[in-house]
Amino acid sequence: MAQILIGKGEQPCSLDTHYANRHGLIAGATGTGKTVTLQIMAEGFSSLGVPVLLADIKGDLAGLAIAGQDNPKLTERAKTLGVENYQNQAFPVVFWDLFGQDGHPARATISDLGPLLLSRLLGLNATQDSVLSLLFKVAKDQDLLLLDLKDLQSLLIYAAEHTQDLSKNYGAISKQSIGIIQRGLLALESEGAGQLFGEPQLAIEDLLQTTLEGRGQINILAADKLFQKPKLYATFLLWLLTKLQETLPEQGDQELPKLAFFFDEAHLLFDDAPKALLEKIEQVVRLIRSKGVGVYFITQNPMDVPETVLGQLGNRVQHALRAFTPKDQKAVKVAAETFRKNPRLDVATTITELAVGEALISTLMEGGIPAPVERAKVVPPRSRMGTISPEERQTIMARSPYLTRYATGIDRPSAHETLSNKAAGSLQPETDAFGGILEKAAKSAMSAASSELGRKVGRELIRGILGSLTKRR
């Protein structure tokens, strides 16, 4: 079986790729080494031919694209920990960016995002959420394509003008709720999130590629700007997870997973999430395992992850936690209790004593059983530890096979155009009817003007009617 060496204590601590789709957790306080652990795991998956998807919040994971520099200390550490053939190495990286600046544009359509995730993004309450869901049903029934923000904005305008008719067929739709949704969309657009929506949509198969040499493609989502909009960050990554779960075929446990998905700052996914969304997340995490996707949550505290999800994370790397407050002490206790006990270790005490680059590691062994927890030193990465320059990023992007595919947005006819044409068509008969009335009135006025008594009045009336006709036309 293929394995990824994560670290070594009294025993080597390796991730068995046969169980890599059983998900995992990388936890620990800021500055304790979580990013390096994520980096060496991404390198390991890529070397074995497994594609990787991760978000780069601080910009330092971009270093995966560049070979590391010679460092005698890292070389000695690798030798001590039993890393075979250790040498500096760059990995095949593709950069993505919702804003299209530090990577290829990553887009999704409004209809594909769906009302549940869009409601989360807009911060809607249950009533407004139900109205949004009804509007998606209206769009489906009337064959209205919802691709970008202007499509949804046009649908909202249409719904506000036809609330009575729509309420008869779909239930109550209040103008107040529509107004709140409209304001939410305007706020979203002002934040620059409008660039997320549209076509060409990010194709899931483009995230699952390998190189000619058989190495897995590492997809890095530039998230340093995106992270400043937490709901947008969490919603987009959850959309990707959902698409993977819906798109990929069943494959069960295989020698290698189909994709390794790293979800950094995982607490953002669960913070203030409504019950319906939490149930959706739990369902996706549970079902996506059978599609061959391993999801690895990265967070400071295991308590950030709900128990229903935490219980599904079989492979665990716990870096140091600090126990300065009662809440911190509780977190240490919870973290300690999630490991299979090792009689040689006082886990709760050890968690607070771990140095940078050390971790408590427990992965699934034969039969899917958690191995006893081991205190270990994490192996060094082969790629650069740190950021890359804008010039290096542009060079890598220029070599990407997706450079032209996603560079230019597509704006095909959709709900906005359909509803605009419908509104324009409904105004024309009214204009024609009004013009006909004016013409009849003009003829009557001319008839009246033929008499001596009505001539003066008729002239004034004709002038007024002809003036009105000119303005209307």
Digit-coded pLDDT (tens) for 374-384: 999 999 999 99
State residue 214 phi and psi, 5-degree precision: 90, 10
Record the pTM: 0.87
- Structure token digits, residue 64: 């995966």
**Average of per-residue pLDDT across 337-347:** 91
**Average of per-residue pLDDT across 415-440:** 66
3-state secondary structure of 171: coil
With a cut of 90, say whether residue 257 has pLDDT above it.
yes
Beta bridge partners of 67: 383
- 195: confidence class by pLDDT, cuts 50, 70, 90: confident
pLDDT of residue 71: 93
pLDDT of residue 325: 85
List the one residue out of 95, 48, 88, 67 whose CA is nearest residue 213: 48
3-state secondary structure of 136: helix
C-alpha–C-alpha distance, residues 292 and 290, integer Å: 5
Which tens digits make up the pLDDT trace of 25-84? 999 999 999 999 999 999 999 999 999 999 999 999 999 999 999 999 999 999 999 998
How does the average pLDDT of the chain come out, rounded? 89
C-alpha–C-alpha distance, residues 321 and 274, integer Å: 29
pLDDT of residue 428: 54
- 215: confidence class by pLDDT, cuts 50, 70, 90: very high
Which H or E element spans position 198?
none
CATH class of 3-107+205-398: alpha beta
Phi-psi category of residue 131: left, alpha or beta, with phi > 0 → left and psi -120 to 50 → alpha: alpha
Tell me the residue type at 314.
G
